Amino acid sequence: MIKIGILGYGNLGKGVEAAIKKNDDLQLKAVYTRRAPETLTIATEGAQVKSISALESGKEDIDVLIICSGSATDLPQQTPQFAALYNCIDSFDTHAKIPTHFAAVDAAAKQAGKISVISCGWDPGMFSINRVYSLSVLPDGEAYTFWGRGVSQGHSDAVRRIAGVKDCRQYTVPVPAALEAVRSGSNPDLTTRQKHTRECFVVAEEGADLAKIEQEIKTMPNYFDDYDTTVHFISEEEMKQNHSTLPHGGSVIYSGTSSEGTKHVIEYSLKLDSNPEFTGSVLAAYARAAYRLNCEGNSGAKTVLDIAPAYLSAKTPEELREHYL
Amino acid sequence: MIKIGILGYGNLGKGVEAAIKKNDDLQLKAVYTRRAPETLTIATEGAQVKSISALESGKEDIDVLIICSGSATDLPQQTPQFAALYNCIDSFDTHAKIPTHFAAVDAAAKQAGKISVISCGWDPGMFSINRVYSLSVLPDGEAYTFWGRGVSQGHSDAVRRIAGVKDCRQYTVPVPAALEAVRSGSNPDLTTRQKHTRECFVVAEEGADLAKIEQEIKTMPNYFDDYDTTVHFISEEEMKQNHSTLPHGGSVIYSGTSSEGTKHVIEYSLKLDSNPEFTGSVLAAYARAAYRLNCEGNSGAKTVLDIAPAYLSAKTPEELREHYL
């Protein structure tokens, strides 16, 4: 059994907990939290809830720590800190800051003789893997990534910060015509606006100026101003009934040529009922890989690009060759 | 530059040659053939054509030998033979015999301190990778593999052996209703007949008994008797005009749950203008990986499941992390 600790018990931490239940060789030992441990009830019998400070000794009885904190401020501090003590997994997803994060985690993990796998999930994660495989097989080509239809938590949060907004769910939606053009292999040039639209379901406070809220959303820099955005005002009941889950998904479509006029289209797509549960499932599989890599004497930071597929599977290499190759 | 030799100059050998031209770090040094070398004209200036016997010294100036022979009788003999002398790549695709082939190649390659990657291509190959990633992330699920619409060379050859048949092109076609059922996440049980149909375009000899040919095709054991097959008799001109290329493709669709009632569908699909050129492109990428693995001191047989994505790419790990993760 591989003993797992989860740091952080939000949506993602709960997603990892669900994933562990589906893997017979993984065992949840403890959830670590910044909240008062006694205020937290977890779904796994026999696992403990502890303060994050318990991790600091480096003596917790876990093989891998899965860090389920936010990318913006927590992971840049926590992953290097705990990579110096345990094998770690995170889902750091601020693409532009990955090289810096990698360097910090690599130094800490190498020093400790541990493995840390950063930026696991589906993008970065399974989508990255597919971009790299496609690019490697067909170097003369282009990768297109589409997200959605699905809930963007960052965009939903941004709308919630607008005065007069009680709640919001923001869906990112790929533009069907763009998908079609890319799938045809025509390698179109597409602007941000041509690739995705955004759809907001907003619960406003009583008496709020709806036109003003809509205007503020549509012109919000970085988040919405480069997109065509639709805003729907709905009731709290409708929000609860129709928008209580966190579905997501998307596609990486790669189109390339192997010789003059000979085209190939490779598409990898995900339709996910729950973004945090799927992301948690990816993290759990890489926890297994990190443990095995470390048992073999490897150390330092890794990404999904550095780890062979067989390391992720609970099955033996012989079983994989016989039944899945 | 990584120096490549190609053994065998049929459709697949030519596909590898095309792929090498698309990769700046790969160089075709020689094509090895069982035919008289002077009878062969290849498409690469500066590369040599040599007899297969030149390989036997183990002294050819190549870093990797890509073996483009048939799985039925050639590869089981040739890959172990040359794995004892060079880093090798093959596309061995007789699924049931992979464990035996792996063991023979592994022994030879380990003894020689070389790497051999067996069973590269798209199935086995890219499809296998996707089956294993999906299974590892969502162990509670099921993988479905569909092939086509595309030309099966094995089935085309089988029909050509029937008396009265001059030429044949056999297309394997996934059943749309089966694809739809699998994509819905309903995890249906599907028989062979429910998953694929077969379509044959046949040029018959003058005066041949068409009804008899059709009957022989439809009842051919293993190849056609488990499928609904349609037979079209066409002219030689029509064959030349409409069926001169070798398109193929297919999908691996995986549907699994991360918790009670929470479903996810993962789909990897290929639409290939040319089966041999795409397969050749995969082989070329794994030649790069084999060379690098061997430079790092690794030896023995590997499959696509044992090799991390980053090994396939001409780009550095830093570039991959910065731009593709």
Q: Residue B319's pLDDT band (boundaries 50, 70, 90)?
A: very high
Give the tens place of pLDDT for each residue, A263-276.
Answer: 999 999 999 999 99
Tell me if A270 and B271 make a contact (CB, 8 A cut-off): no
Say whether A306 and B317 touch across the interface (CB within 8 A). Answer: yes
Cβ within 8 Å, pair A321-B98: yes
**Residue range B132-158: mean pLDDT, rounded:** 96
Q: How far is CA A42 from CA A13, A51, A56, B288, in A?
A: 10, 14, 22, 47
Whether A260 has a pLDDT exceeding 90, the answer reads yes
- Contacts of residue A236, defined as CB under 8 A and 6 or more positions apart, other chains included, come to A166, A167, A203
Residues of chain A neighbouring B298 (CB-CB closer than 8 A): none
CB contacts of B277 in chain A (<8 Å) are 258-259, 262, 264
How far B148 CA sits from the closest chain A CA (Å)? 14
Angle between helical axes of A126-137 and B126-137 (0-180°, round to 10): 170
- Supply the pLDDT for residue B131: 98
Residue A71 has pLDDT above 90, yes or no: no
| pLDDT score for B150 | 97
Whether the CB-CB separation of B130 and B254 falls below 8 Å is answered with yes
Q: B102 to chain A: which residues are within 8 Å by CB?
A: 321
Long-range Cβ pairs for the range B209-213 (8 Å, 24+): B209/B164, B212/B164, B213/B162, B213/B164, B213/B165
Q: Which pLDDT belongs to residue B289?
A: 98
By CA distance, what is B24's nearest residue in A? A139
Residue B84 in contact with residue B25, Cβ under 8 Å? Answer: no
Please tell me which of the candidates A128, A321, A322 has its beta carbon nearest to residue B325: A128
Mean pLDDT of B240-245: 96
Average pLDDT of the residues in B256-281: 97
Contact B64, B86 (CB under 8 A): yes
| B280 with A258: Cβ contact below 8 A | yes
Do residues A147 and A209 touch, judged by C-beta distance below 8 A? no
Report the DSSP beta bridge partners of residue B147.
B250
Residues of chain A with pLDDT > 90, as a percent, come to 97
Query: Using one digit for the tens of pLDDT, what is the confidence trace for B32-58?
Result: 999 999 999 999 999 999 999 999 999
Determine whether the interchain pair B124/A325 forms a contact, defined as Cβ–Cβ distance below 8 Å: yes
The verdict on A324 touching B (C-beta cutoff 8 Å) is yes
A131: closest CA among A265, A253, A4, A295?
A253
* Residue B318 at interface with chain A, using a CB cutoff of 8 Å: yes
Beta-carbon separation of B310 and A314 below 8 A? no
pLDDT score for B294: 98
- Provide the pLDDT for residue B228: 97
Answer whether residue B71 shows pLDDT above 90: no
- Which residue in the set B130, B263, B322 is minimally distant from A99, CB to CB? B322
| pTM (two decimals) | 0.96
Inter-chain CB proximity B309 and A305 less than 8 Å: yes
Query: So what's the pLDDT on residue B72?
Result: 80
Sheet holding A115-117, edge to edge: A48-51, A26-33, A2-7, A64-67, A87-89, A115-117, A300-302
Per-residue model confidence (pLDDT) at position A119: 97
Which 8-state DSSP code applies to residue A205? Answer: P
Tell whether the model's pLDDT for residue B70 goes beyond 90.
Answer: no
| Structure ipTM | 0.96
The gap from C-alpha B58 to its chain's centroid, in whole angstroms, comes to 26
Sheet with B64-67: list strands edge to edge: B48-51, B26-33, B2-7, B64-67, B87-89, B115-117, B300-302
| Residue B321 at interface with chain A, using a CB cutoff of 8 Å | yes
A contacts of B321 (beta carbons < 8 Å): 98-99, 102, 303, 305
Q: In the A/B pair of chains, how many CB contacts fall below 8 A?
A: 212
Please indicate whether, in this complex, the C-beta atoms of A99 and B318 are within 8 angstroms of each other.
Answer: yes
- At B81 the pLDDT is 98
* DSSP state, residue B205: P
HSE-up of residue A139 (Cα within 13 Å, Cβ side): 18
- Tell me the C-alpha distance between B115 and B105, whole Å: 9
Please write the tens of the pLDDT for every residue from B179-189.
999 999 999 99
Give the three-state DSSP class for B321. Answer: helix
Residue of B208, B298, B266 whose CA lies nearest to A285? B266
Q: Does B179 touch chain A (CB under 8 A)?
A: no
Interface of A with B in 82-121 (CB under 8 A): 95, 98-99, 102, 119
Give the DSSP letter string of A100-124.
Answer: HHHHHHHHHHHHHT-EEE-S-SBTT
What tokens does A258 get? 């192997």
- Specify the DSSP element, H or E, that contains A142: strand A141-147
Nearest to A277 by CA among A7, A5, A13: A13
| Contact at CB, A266 and B269, closer than 8 angstroms | yes
| pLDDT, tens digit, 9 for 90 and up, residues A196-254 | 999 999 999 999 999 999 999 999 998 999 999 999 999 999 999 999 999 999 999 99
Q: What is the mean pLDDT of residues A81-93?
A: 97
Chain B environment of A134 (Cβ under 8 Å): none
* B64-81: average pLDDT: 94
